[in-house]
């Protein structure tokens, strides 16, 4: 019976609960492992079964909240969440998300929102993938030459293996003497200007408001390369931060009538176990390898956007 | 197949089976009763619906996280 379509009265759609659970599970694994919301898969997956885009976007955000709670709790148990950094970033993300949403409204009024957002997303997603594949590959090769990170079974060994080829950029960002300068002991950052953190989270929020979803695909790399947060902590902290920003987004969409919470609850039953598995898997991979495995995700987004742009069809 | 891998795989499959049964019960018991009430709330009081939605998804997340953590501990503990 669970294989049959179930009627969801709020969005007026008929969807198989098993389909929702499987989609939720896949996105949960991705979220737990990479710290991303997975909206580039969830949105099209809901649309593919006949849900309107406004419901797909709002429902996906609600499901992201639940999934992030599970994954962030698991990451916290593993010592991968910097609460101080997460709370600071949440303020910048919310402000950025509002600006992104306003930009969308502006483009809507000018009548070219679909084209502009498609082009921006193709450029951004491709750039992130290209940059991360180049940086991670360089770091992995450099570590192999020097024999760094062979002891991956200990926390110390994993942290030693988690370096990036952009440590110069990170150090210069941490040296900006703009008041107030704070420390992030959990992330091992001795001193960094509060404004650098706010700007990084604001940019993440801007992309979230402009391109949709949690924008973990841009926030997680920026936390690693600009703030100098170890990859495991960046994944866990990003998830914690997403709980706050996605809750705000869910409330905002829900009062506009764009959230079918029953669909989100069903999807989340799959995501809950997927997120746990994804979070546990991070223990078996060093930082550069997690970043290397992250590369195909933005490219999936590029493929979906290019398909939609050239065919005019939504998935 | 190594003995450790076999144990881990067994624990994982057992956890999925137990979790699957719990989820099916959850669908029929909880969502069945919630569906109509939430649909009425959506039509009648959208702000309350928004607040209830966030409460429900966070509440379910905490509950399921506790269930999956318990299952992980129980089954891993027994297989080791």
For A215-234, write each residue's pLDDT tens digit.
777 888 889 888 989 888 88
With a CB cutoff of 8 Å and minimum separation 6, the contacts of A261 are A10, A59, A62, A254, B38, B49, B52, B53, B56, B57
Check CB contact under 8 Å for A268 and B64. yes
Q: Does residue A166 surpass a pLDDT of 70?
A: no
Question: What tokens appear for A203 in the block?
Answer: 């940019």
- Chain B environment of A278 (Cβ under 8 Å): none
**pLDDT over 60 (residue B58):** yes
Asked whether residue B5 carries a pLDDT value surpassing 60, the answer given is: yes
- Across the A:B interface, residue pairs with CB atoms under 8 Å apart total 100
Say if CB A78 and CB A279 are below 8 A apart.
yes
- Among A257, A264, A276, whose Cβ lies nearest the Cβ of B46? A257
Residue A262 has pLDDT above 80, yes or no: yes
For residues B52 and B38, is the Cβ–Cβ distance under 8 A? Answer: yes
Residues 6+ apart with CB under 8 A from B33: none
pTM: 0.75
Q: Where are the alpha helices (DSSP H) in chain A?
A: 17-34, 39-48, 53-77, 83-110, 113-146, 155-161, 167-174, 194-211, 216-222, 231-254, 261-281, 287-294, 296-311
Residues A207 and A217: their CA atoms lie apart, in Å, by 10
Pick A261's closest partner by Cβ from B47, B56, B72: B56
Q: How far is residue A4's CA from residue B61's CA, in Å, rounded to a whole number?
A: 25
Tens of pLDDT, residue by residue over A95-129, are 988 888 788 778 878 887 777 877 887 888 788 78
Contact A265 B36 (CB under 8 A): no
> For residue B18, what are the β-bridge partners?
none
């Amino acid at each position: 019976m669970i294989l049959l379509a179930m009627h969801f009265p709020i969005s007026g759609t008929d969807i198989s609960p098993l389909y929702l659970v499987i989609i939720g599970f896949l996105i949960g694994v991705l979220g737990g492992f990479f710290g991303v919301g997975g909206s580039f898969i969830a949105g099209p997956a809901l649309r593919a079964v006949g849900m309107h885009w406004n419901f797909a976007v709002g429902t996906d955000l609600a499901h992201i909240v639940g999934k992030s709670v599970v994954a962030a709790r698991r990451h916290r148990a593993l010592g991968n969440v910097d609460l101080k950094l997460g709370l600071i970033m949440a303020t910048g993300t919310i402000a950025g998300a509002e600006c992104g949403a306003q930009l969308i409204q502006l483009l809507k009024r000018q009548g070219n929102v679909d084209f502009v957002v498609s082009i921006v997303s193709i450029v951004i997603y491709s750039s992130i993938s290209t940059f991360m594949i180049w940086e991670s590959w360089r770091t992995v090769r450099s570590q192999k030459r020097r024999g760094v990170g062979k002891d991956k079974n200990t926390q110390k060994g994993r942290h030693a293996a988690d370096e990036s080829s952009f440590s110069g950029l990170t150090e210069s960002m941490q040296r900006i003497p703009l008041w107030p300068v704070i420390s992030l002991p959990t992330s091992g950052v001795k001193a960094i200007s509060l404004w650098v953190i706010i700007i990084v989270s604001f940019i993440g929020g801007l992309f979230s408001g402009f391109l949709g979803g949690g924008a973990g695909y841009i926030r997680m790399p920026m936390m690693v390369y600009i703030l100098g947060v170890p990859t495991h902590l960046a994944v866990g902290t990003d998830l914690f931060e997403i709980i706050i920003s996605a809750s705000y987004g869910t409330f905002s969409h829900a009062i506009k009538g764009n959230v079918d919470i029953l669909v989100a609850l069903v999807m989340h039953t799959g995501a809950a176990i997927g997120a746990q598995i994804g979070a546990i898997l991070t223990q078996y991979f060093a930082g550069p390898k997690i970043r290397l495995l992250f590369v195909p995700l933005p490219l999936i987004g590029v493929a979906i956007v290019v398909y939609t742009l050239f065919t005019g069809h939504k998935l | 197949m190594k003995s450790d891998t076999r144990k881990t795989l067994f624990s994982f499959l057992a956890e999925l089976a137990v979790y699957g049964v719990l989820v099916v019960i959850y669908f029929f018991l909880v969502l069945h009763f919630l569906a109509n009430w939430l649909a009425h709330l959506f039509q009648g009081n959208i702000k309350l619906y928004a607040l209830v939605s966030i409460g429900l998804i966070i509440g379910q997340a905490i509950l399921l996280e506790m269930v999956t953590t318990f299952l992980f501990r129980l089954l891993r503990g027994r297989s080791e």
